[in-house]
Amino acid sequence: MNEIIADVLVVGGGMAAGWAAISAAKTGARVVLADKGFMGTSGVTAPAGPNHWWVPPEAELRKAAVERRLESAFGLADPVWMERIIDITWQSIPEIAPWYPFSGDGKGGTFRAGLRGPEYLRALRQYATKLGVTILDQHPVLELLARQDGSIGGVAGYDRLNDRPWNARTGAVILATGGCAFRSGLLGSHNNTGDGYLMGVEAGAELSGMEFCISYSISPLWLSTRTLPYTGARYFNAEGQLLSIPGWDKPRDYLCKLADAFRAGPVYADLHEAPAGLPAVVREIQPATVAAFERRGLDMFQDRFEVKLFGEGTIRGIGGLRIVNDVCATSVPGLFAAGDAATREHIAGATSGGGAQNAAWALSSGVLSGTGAAHEAKKRRKTLDRSEKLKPLGGAGLRPSGAVKAVDRKAAIQTAQKETLDLDKALWRNETGLKSSASLLDKAWSEIRTSLHGEKLETVSARETAAMVATARWCNASALVRKESRGMHVREDYPQQNPDYQSRIITGGLDRITPYLEKLRTTEAVS
Amino acid sequence: MITEILPDRCNSCNACVVVCPDHVLDMAKDGQLPVIARPDQCQTCFLCELYCSEDAIYVAVDVPRSELKNDPLGNIRRDYGWDGHEEDPLKNFWQLGGLLREGVMISSARHALQQSDDKESEKKI
Ligand SMILES: Cc1cc2nc3c(=O)[nH]c(=O)nc-3n(C[C@H](O)[C@H](O)[C@H](O)COP(=O)(O)OP(=O)(O)OC[C@H]3O[C@@H](n4cnc5c(N)ncnc54)[C@H](O)[C@@H]3O)c2cc1C
């Protein structure tokens, strides 16, 4: 088996991974980036075109931007983090100019806030390569490897194109594996199955904010696309009656009204009242959205089409690996997290950082984790090549606790999807529903943990299945513990926001999930 | 879903195999075509087409290409401007945010109107 040696190993191939690799390489570290797919097409950044939180370095403007977002963060965000993220984003994007075809902003300047996905990732790839980063495409990481002292010293994975296992010995590891949308079909999310959460928790890391995973995007029934064209859409029921659906400026009302409509039957949309300037430029801004209609023989601005809400889970939800310092370290030495794989509560609190914050977070947490991991790796450099035996940490899907048996993976994934994304369950949570979900998910987990095993290439999907079910359990368990309504998390049985819960829900654990409210834990420790 | 690799165009460079984020394809062997081995994993992102310099791969959206009035083969690369025909492929990209907000205003204005209409009709009753 070929063993790779690196100071920093970045897991993932989206924008967070790209920026992490770049920032680590700038310090002179030897960096390897391993992606499940191809760095350039995989992840949700690639088919999208993220707009970043973009505020010029003027004190007044920045203060106002932070204040505005604090208002919608429901008390869980931190202004210091926000300022840091805005600043890193502002400084970083111009660096990719040699590789990205920046164009005008319509006012005689250069437009830098938003970047089209394929070109963005191509630029990050070229920049990283120039800095000496080794990129391993089609190299999904399956598990972390620990040193004797419990710190993370490597990874093991599978090389899909050559059909063979691989592993790496490294000074530090950054998990930039994206969020998890439970294979809802959400554009670009097929690889984002929560692998990083599972690997992190197996190593002893914690998760935070997993209850904040209530986010959906509207698209044609047959294919999730970017959503720009639909902001002005009109919605109809099967009888052709125009429905009364609030605008996107009221995200909760919009979702609830649509959910009501879906409960009654199929929902259709048309774009007759879309912004007048849209048809002329949509093909340039989002070519794939146009293809979704054109290749089905539809005229997107004329024809009425059936729609669906695609679950976004923790992608445009908030939760992820808990980070414990300002270089995005997890609580496990040598392990860092960035992008959607890390919790975004620091800047977005209990609401999705939609429309700008998410990309800025992915970029800056990437940059921060890159410097943090490189620094950590430096300390390990002398001992890196030594043949200390590394302990593989992967459990479910790799090393079943009982006899190997056939497990219905499709059914397990469906359970994870249904219990987290089903609109009625997600939008109106309550104790009874959450408990019933917990027992279904526990059952699916226990079957996977005991019996699931994949051979060769199949190890990848076995791990993905395990990670999705595990993620669903963490989301559900966190939602049970947050006995209040806050931001995107709404409990029917606790409809009010409660000041006692103005704190993060931390969770972890595998066979037994252990969620707790961060603040209470501290009080306990003190008393 | 990836449905076609066109034998008369494909040069077996395997670019599509490498760039597919979801490992749908297996490598072409001995000058043959890449194999669409795992179509169920295709997420219809069209990005294999973007990286195919020969426009030799086609991602269908439920309907076969032959049934469409205008053949979309090559459209993805052209629309993204990766075929080199467009010098400034992102000249309108700045409009994204403004158009998005305009759409939101349209739908919230419509909803406000619908609500006041509802109130009006309630009054009449
Ligand atoms: C349709 C859509 C539109 C959006 N628009 C905006 C916007 O306008 N503004 C904004 O701020 N945000 C937006 N977002 C959110 C934003 O795109 C994300 O927050 C950001 O792209 C996340 O980057 P990431 O690198 O963390 O994740 P991703 O880009 O999803 O990358 C995750 C990577 O991890 C890899 N991976 C997963 N598991 C493994 C494994 N086991 N081994 C190796 N690699 C693995 C995947 O292959 C992938 O390359 C949007 C999201 C969606 C879905």
Q: Is the CB of A45 under 6 A from ligand 1?
A: yes
The reply to whether A448 and A474 lie within a common domain is yes
| pLDDT reading at A383 higher than 80 | no
The answer to whether B19 contacts A41, with C-beta atoms less than 8 Å apart, is: yes
The reply to whether A285 and A376 lie within a common domain is no
The reply to whether B41 and B97 lie within a common domain is no
CA-CA distance, B43 to B53, in Å (whole number)?
21
State residue A265's pLDDT score: 97
The reply to whether A209 and A114 lie within a common domain is yes
Task: Kindly report, residue by residue over A10-22, the tens digit of the pLDDT.
Answer: 999 999 999 999 9
The answer to whether B61 contacts A355, with C-beta atoms less than 8 Å apart, is: no
The reply to whether B15 and B74 lie within a common domain is yes
The answer to whether B91 contacts A283, with C-beta atoms less than 8 Å apart, is: no
State residue A520's pLDDT score: 53
The reply to whether B42 and B80 lie within a common domain is yes
The reply to whether A343 and A428 lie within a common domain is no
Q: Which candidate from A106, A273, A288 shows the least CB-CB separation from B106? A: A273
Residues from chain B contacting residue A231 (CB–CB below 8 Å): 99-104, 106-107
CA-CA distance, A476 to A91, in Å (whole number)?
38
pLDDT band at A525 (very low <50, low <70, confident <90, very high): very low
| pLDDT reading at A336 higher than 90 | yes
State residue B31's pLDDT score: 85
- The total of structural domains in chain A comes to 3
The reply to whether A169 and A87 lie within a common domain is yes
State residue A521's pLDDT score: 46
Q: Which two tokens stand for residue A320?
A: 């992820």
Q: Is the CB of A515 under 6 A from ligand 1?
A: no
Residues from chain A contacting residue B100 (CB–CB below 8 Å): 228, 231, 355
- Shortest-distance Cα residue to atom 46 of ligand 1: A43
- The total of structural domains in chain B comes to 2
What single letter denotes the amino acid at residue B62? D
Last residue of a domain, one of A278, A311, A344: A311
Q: Is the CB of A177 under 6 A from ligand 1?
A: yes
Pocket perturbation via mutation, ligand 1, pick of A45, A86, A174, A198 by most ligand atoms within 8 A of CB? A45
The reply to whether B27 and B58 lie within a common domain is yes
Task: Using the Cα atoms of residue A242, residue A244, residue A246 and residue A252 in order, give the sign of their dihedral.
Answer: negative
The reply to whether B77 and B47 lie within a common domain is yes
| pLDDT reading at A323 higher than 90 | yes
The answer to whether B111 contacts A244, with C-beta atoms less than 8 Å apart, is: yes
| pLDDT reading at A325 higher than 90 | yes
Question: Does residue A226 lie in a domain region?
Answer: yes
Could you tell me the CA-to-CA distances from B77 to A206, A310, B53, B82, B93 in Å, in that order? 42, 26, 8, 5, 17
Could you tell me the CA-to-CA distances from A325 to A288, A329, A330, A475, A525 in Å, in that order? 39, 6, 8, 23, 20
The reply to whether A271 and A161 lie within a common domain is no
State residue A508's pLDDT score: 96
DSSP code at position A489 = B
| pLDDT reading at B8 higher than 70 | yes
Q: Which candidate from B20, B70, B96 shows the least CB-CB separation from A51? A: B96
The reply to whether A351 and A467 lie within a common domain is no
Question: Does residue A475 lie in a domain region?
Answer: yes
DSSP code at position A182 = T
CATH code, domain with B18: 3.30.70.20
CATH code, domain with A488: 1.20.58.100
Q: Which domain holds residue B105?
A: 92-125
Mutation for testing the A interface, residue in B29, B59, B107 having most A CBs under 10 Å: B107
| pLDDT reading at A39 higher than 90 | yes
- Chain A residue with CA closest to B58: the answer is A295
State residue A378's pLDDT score: 95
State residue A522's pLDDT score: 45
The reply to whether B96 and B79 lie within a common domain is no
Q: Is the CB of A51 under 6 A from ligand 1?
A: yes
The reply to whether B80 and B31 lie within a common domain is yes
* Across A479-487, average pLDDT: 97
pLDDT band at A385 (very low <50, low <70, confident <90, very high): confident
State residue B119's pLDDT score: 80
Question: Does residue A403 lie in a domain region?
Answer: no
| pLDDT reading at A353 higher than 70 | no
Question: Does residue A518 lie in a domain region?
Answer: no
Question: Distance (Å) from the C-alpha of residue A219 to the closest C-alpha of chain B?
Answer: 14
The reply to whether A257 and A387 lie within a common domain is no
State residue B46's pLDDT score: 98
pLDDT band at A79 (very low <50, low <70, confident <90, very high): very high
The reply to whether B15 and B60 lie within a common domain is yes
Q: Is the CB of A184 under 6 A from ligand 1?
A: no
Last residue of a domain, one of A311, A336, A351: A311
State residue A170's pLDDT score: 96
The reply to whether B56 and B111 lie within a common domain is no
Question: Does residue A281 lie in a domain region?
Answer: yes
Return the top range by mean pLDDT from A377-386, A511-520, B29-38: B29-38
The reply to whether A220 and A168 lie within a common domain is no
| Residue A98 CB partners (closer than 8 Å, separation 6+) | A126, A127
A321: Cα separation from own chain's centroid: 10
Smallest CA-to-CA distance from A338 within A140, A45, A37 is with: A45
The reply to whether A295 and A323 lie within a common domain is no
Task: Kindly report, residue by residue over B64-115, the tens digit of the pLDDT.
Answer: 999 999 999 999 999 999 999 889 999 999 999 999 999 999 999 999 999 9
Out of A373-377, A499-503, A518-522, pick the least confident: A518-522
| Complex prediction ipTM | 0.95
Task: Kindly report, residue by residue over A176-200, the tens digit of the pLDDT.
Answer: 999 999 999 999 999 999 999 999 9
Question: Does residue A137 lie in a domain region?
Answer: yes
State residue A523's pLDDT score: 41
The reply to whether B77 and B35 lie within a common domain is yes
Q: Is the CB of A192 under 6 A from ligand 1?
A: yes
| pLDDT reading at A65 higher than 60 | yes
Task: Kindly report, residue by residue over A148-170, the tens digit of the pLDDT.
Answer: 999 999 999 999 999 999 999 99
Longest dimension (CA), chain B: 78
Task: Using the Cα atoms of residue A353, residue A354, residue A357 and residue A360 in order, give the sign of their dihedral.
Answer: positive
Question: Distance (Å) from the C-alpha of residue B120 to the closest C-alpha of chain A?
Answer: 15
The reply to whether B53 and B109 lie within a common domain is no
Q: Which two tokens stand for residue B87?
A: 């010098």
Q: Which domain holds residue A222?
A: 216-311
| pLDDT reading at A524 higher than 60 | no
Q: Mean pLDDT across chain A, nearest whole number?
A: 95
Got the DSSP string for A225-267? --SGGGTT-EEE-TT-PBP----TTSHHHHHHHHHHHHHHS--
The reply to whether B86 and B105 lie within a common domain is no
The reply to whether A42 and A104 lie within a common domain is yes
Question: Does residue A141 lie in a domain region?
Answer: yes
Q: Is the CB of A339 under 6 A from ligand 1?
A: yes
Q: Are A350 and A76 in contact (CB under 8 A)?
A: yes
Residues from chain A contacting residue B24 (CB–CB below 8 Å): none
The reply to whether A77 and A177 lie within a common domain is yes
Last residue of a domain, one of A311, A331, A348: A311
State residue B125's pLDDT score: 59
Question: Distance (Å) from the C-alpha of residue B111 to the closest C-alpha of chain A?
Answer: 5
CATH code, domain with A103: 3.50.50.60
